[in-house]
Amino acid sequence: MASAPGRANLIGEHIDYAGGVVLPFAISDRTHVGVTRRSDRKLHVSSTHSKLAITLELDELENWKGTPWARYPLGVVHVLRTLGADFPGLDIEIDGSVPHGAGVSSSAALECATALALNELFSLGHSSLDLAKICRRAENEYVGMPCGLMDQAASMLSQENHILAFDCLTFETQQLPFNLSEDNLEILLIDSQVKHQLVDGGYASRFAACESARSTLGLDSLRHLTREAFESADLEPLVRKRVSHVIAEMERVSKTMVALKEKNFREVGELLNQSHASLRDIYEVSCKELDLACEVALTSGAFGGRMMGGGFGGSAIILTPIDNTQTVIANVSKAFADAGFKKPRAFIVSPSAGARIEYSA
């Protein structure tokens, strides 16, 4: 039995696949995956969140196009097999509390818990970073989602009371102390209850725009694109618009790291606000519910906030003094009701530990 957490991302949105540095952290909600050997070359996958269990032959796995939620753990099994793992058959049982469609990467939590359990049970010897990369391959190649490595790295590598500064180009990590209680702060996630399916075209089209710019400019990564070179680059108007967010967001991450080290949390809040405006107006991945949540939080005493995750729904992340948290929650809930939106879910998160083995026979 292994567990892996969902993640929140303080700042650095839609730049992981462009090679940027991102600032995620694990949350306390976790997905648990139990794996047991079988000897009949069958794969059986069940979840407490679904009445439908999946059974298939190992030899059917490569081309299996079945139930979407099961493709995440089975994608991990598939990638590990391509790397030489020999599984005689598996029972995979799934449970957990990471909310789906809320922008906290329930998919990465499921992948990472599965990978860690398999790595332990079959003594595969992969490092935590190796497992994160394997999970990303599963999502890219098997599920069909062109994500970067941030979500899986955060789920695997995070430490309690730290933000993970993760370099998506070099895979270098830095743990930034962030003990909210010491500074009378809280991070609030406001789930808009607008559910998203990132395998749909919106996310992929943004990824494609970044890839188009990288190819046009002859770069290995947009991380190497300076602002000066960007200003003079010949890019299609929509591609230029999307890349302008990427350039500015990378700059905001650098400023946020400095502000965190200096404990200048008002500056952190302002950078979150700038990030949201860019995601709303330039990258165009927000929605009216997330915009309202951020606007009301700010007028209710929060330092700042922004939409978080792939976009088109999900959650907003709000940095607020602890004394203002309940006011923010109440005012956002009222604003949603007044606007006729579905009631939001608000929950407090703090930097938590990454994936771990819970039980090994």
pLDDT, tens only, 154-184? 999 999 999 999 999 999 999 999 999 999 9
Integer angstrom CA distances of residue 295 from 137, 266, 314, 342: 37, 16, 16, 17
Confidence of residue 90 (pLDDT cuts 50, 70, 90): very high
What average pLDDT score do residues 41-62 get?
Answer: 95
56 pLDDT exceeds 80? yes
State the DSSP code for 333.
H
pLDDT digits (tens, 9 = 90+) for 250-305: 999 999 999 999 999 999 999 999 999 999 999 999 999 999 999 999 999 999 99
Q: What percentage of residues in the chain have a pLDDT greater than 90?
A: 89
**Average pLDDT value for the chain:** 95
What percentage of residues in the chain have a pLDDT greater than 70? 98
DSSP-assigned states of every residue in 125-150: ---HHHHHHHHHHIIIIII-----SH
Task: Using alpha carbons, select from 14, 11, 8 the residue that is nearest to residue 283.
Answer: 14
Q: pLDDT by residue (tens digit) across 320-335?
A: 999 999 999 999 999 9
Position 198 scores a pLDDT of 52
Residue 75's alpha-carbon distances to 2, 70, 139, 154, 258, in angstroms, are: 17, 8, 7, 19, 38
Residues classed as catalytic: 151
Residue ranges and CATH numbers for the domains of the chain are 2-176 (3.30.230.10), 178-349 (3.30.70.890)
Cβ proximity of 351 and 7 under 8 Å: no
Residue 199: what pLDDT?
47
| Cβ proximity of 104 and 7 under 8 Å | yes
pLDDT at res. 31: 97
Res. 17: pLDDT tops 60: yes
- Partners of 24 in the β-ladder: 9
Give the pLDDT mean for 59-68.
93
In this structure, what token pair is assigned to residue 186?
A: 């809280």
Per-residue pLDDT at 99: 80
CA dist., res. 316 & res. 308, Å (int): 5
pLDDT band for position 227 (cuts 50, 70, 90): very high
pTM, whole model, 2 decimals?
0.92
Least confident of 50-54, 219-223, 273-277: 50-54
Q: Which two tokens stand for residue 125?
A: 């010897």
Closest CA to 163 of 246, 252, 260: 260
Average pLDDT over residues 135-149: 92
* Residue ranges of E strands in the chain: 2-9, 21-22, 24-37, 42-47, 54-57, 90-96, 162-167, 173-177, 185-191, 304-308, 315-321, 345-349, 356-357
> Region 21-33: what's the mean pLDDT?
97
Comparing 104 with 322, the larger pLDDT belongs to 322
d(CA 22, CA 168): 7
- For residue 122, what is the DSSP state? T
Residue 220 CB burial class (10 angstroms; 0-12, 13-18, ≥19): exposed
Element (H, E) at 71: helix 71-82
